[in-house]
């Protein structure tokens, strides 16, 4: 079963915030690697939507 992950504007803005923060605190290469990793995780979630469970605080 595949699902489609939709990125809201809020999520895109937060990803940009994360990128900018790590670009300043570390460097652009680290920031890009982290941002790419976050996006890659959503791709994995599309292919296997039940791979992660919802944490107790989110239920």
Is the pLDDT at 55 greater than 70? The verdict is no
For residue 49, what pLDDT is reported? 80
Q: What is the pLDDT of residues 21-54, one digit of tens each?
A: 999 999 999 999 999 999 998 888 888 887 766 6
3-state secondary structure (DSSP) of residue 28: helix
How many CB atoms lie under 10 A from the CB of residue 30? 13
Domain extents in the chain: 1-48
The phi, psi pair for 34, rounded to 5°, reads -65, -45
Distance of alpha carbon 46 from alpha carbon 43, whole angstroms: 5
The model carries a pTM of 0.76
Please write down the long-range contacts of 6-13, taking CB distance under 8 Å and 24 or more positions apart: 7/42
The phi, psi pair for 51, rounded to 5°, reads -70, -30
């Amino acid at each position: 079963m595949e699902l489609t992950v939709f990125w809201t504007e809020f999520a895109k803005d937060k990803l940009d915030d994360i990128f900018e923060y790590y670009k300043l605190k570390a460097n652009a290469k680290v920031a890009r690697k982290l941002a790419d990793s976050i996006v890659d995780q959503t791709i994995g979630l599309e292919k296997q939507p039940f791979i992660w469970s919802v944490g107790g605080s989110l239920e």
